[in-house]
Amino acid sequence: MNRNALKGFAVDIGGTKTAVARIEQGKIVEHLVTPTDGDADLEGHLQSFAQQLGRVGYRSGELLGVAVTGRVTRSGKWSAVNSGTLRAIEGVPLGAVLKARFGEACCCNDAAAAAYSEAMFGAGEDCPIFVYVTVSTGVGGGLVVDGKLIESSRGLAGHLGFVTGPGANLICGSGRRGTVESIAAGRAIAAAAEDAGHPDFDARKVFEAARSGSHWADEIIDRSSQAIASLCADTAATLDPDCIAIGGGIGLADGYLSRVRAHLANEPELFRVPLLPAVLGSDGPLLGALALAVTRRHQ
């Protein structure tokens, strides 16, 4: 896909922030970010981002890609997998409502969208089998094989945060016990800080504390990075990717990828998949959602 030909609008509803963007010639030319309301229902999310889209110049009929945290079924139904992140989104008709309200619009999972744009224009450009992992509010993922995003009818394909990991034993919002998300994600890092006696520490403050030499904070971040390293090694035994790109606010935090690489180095050589930082950063889900809208329009 020619990135320069990418023109339209995109929305990224993440677990913590919702971004809207106007995209021209494959670049984000206008961009607004607001907090995500984890208690909002479908109408609440729609009204919130529709207002923001108007502020970046969206007009009805323009091509729109919407990336969301949670799974999106092939029929466009949107559900949280981790109900702790989105408390009022279960089986809602996102695809149908987008088409009714906005005309030319498509919806997909946020990490899948980022995987697609990283495969098309970013870290995965030269990887026939490419895996993207976001470590952010949750831990998400996307799988792109020979330029095609792997999507399943239930929308769960690529949800790598819900595999179980080493040292994890907590019940996750997905209902599983010991998931990678329950030990590695931003919300898990904040919960571990609270358990360590620091109730008002979000992930960013835990990273700051670790940089200032706090052993408790360093341990929490190390457990997170170890779980992600183990997840990366596991993918070698499933898809055997040519590379894995790590993105998300935690994934791209200073020193985090080095920690993951250090833990991955303890795995047998065969399971040390090359790791790269995501190139597109927080633009990834926005560019990927619009790129998927273009791809699907031609299908």
Could you tell me which of 83, 81, 101 has the C-alpha nearest to residue 93? Answer: 101
Residue that is written with structure tokens 């799988």 in the block: 143
How far is residue 3 from each of residues 92, 117, 235, measured CA to CA in Å?
A: 32, 9, 28
**Which listed residue (26, 138, 247, 251) binds ligand BMX by CB under 6 A?**
138
Whether 172 and 181 have beta carbons less than 8 Å apart is answered as yes
Burial per residue of 228-249, b for 16 or more beta-carbon CB atoms within 10 angstroms, e otherwise: bbbbbbbbbeebebebbbbbbb
Question: Is there binding between residue 69 and ligand BMX (CB under 6 A)?
Answer: yes
Residues 244-273, interacting with ligand BMX (CB under 6 A): none
Question: Is there binding between residue 118 and ligand BMX (CB under 6 A)?
Answer: no
**Which listed residue (20, 40, 111, 115) binds ligand BMX by CB under 6 A?**
111
Stretch that binds ligand BMX, among 46-54, 68-76, 93-101, 208-216 (CB under 6 A): 68-76
Question: Is there binding between residue 140 and ligand BMX (CB under 6 A)?
Answer: yes
Q: Is the dihedral of CA 68, 108, 27, 122 positive or negative?
A: positive
Residues 71-110, interacting with ligand BMX (CB under 6 A): 71, 80-82, 85-86, 109-110
**CB nearer to ligand BMX: pick between 15 and 241:** 15
* Strands 64-68, 105-109: pairing kind: parallel
Q: What is the smallest separation between the CB atom of 55 and ligand BMX, expressed in angstroms?
A: 22
Question: Is there binding between residue 48 and ligand BMX (CB under 6 A)?
Answer: no
Give the strands of the sheet with 27-35, arranged side by side: 27-35, 17-24, 8-13, 64-68, 105-109
Question: Is there binding between residue 136 and ligand BMX (CB under 6 A)?
Answer: yes
Question: Is there binding between residue 134 and ligand BMX (CB under 6 A)?
Answer: yes
The residue type at 164: T
Question: Is there binding between residue 179 and ligand BMX (CB under 6 A)?
Answer: no
Whether 212 and 242 have beta carbons less than 8 Å apart is answered as no
**Which listed residue (26, 70, 122, 241) binds ligand BMX by CB under 6 A?**
70
Q: What is the smallest separation between the CB atom of 266 and ligand BMX, expressed in angstroms?
A: 25
Tell me phi and psi for residue 19, to 5 degrees: -115, 145
Count of positions on this chain that bind ligand BMX (CB under 6 A)? 22
**Which listed residue (14, 65, 95, 251) binds ligand BMX by CB under 6 A?**
14
Q: What is the smallest separation between the CB atom of 60 and ligand BMX, expressed in angstroms?
A: 27
Could you tell me which of 3, 24, 13 has the C-alpha nearest to residue 98? Answer: 13
Question: Is there binding between residue 165 and ligand BMX (CB under 6 A)?
Answer: no
* Binding residues for ligand BMX (CB under 6 A): 14-15, 69-71, 80-82, 85-86, 109-111, 134, 136-140, 159, 161, 181
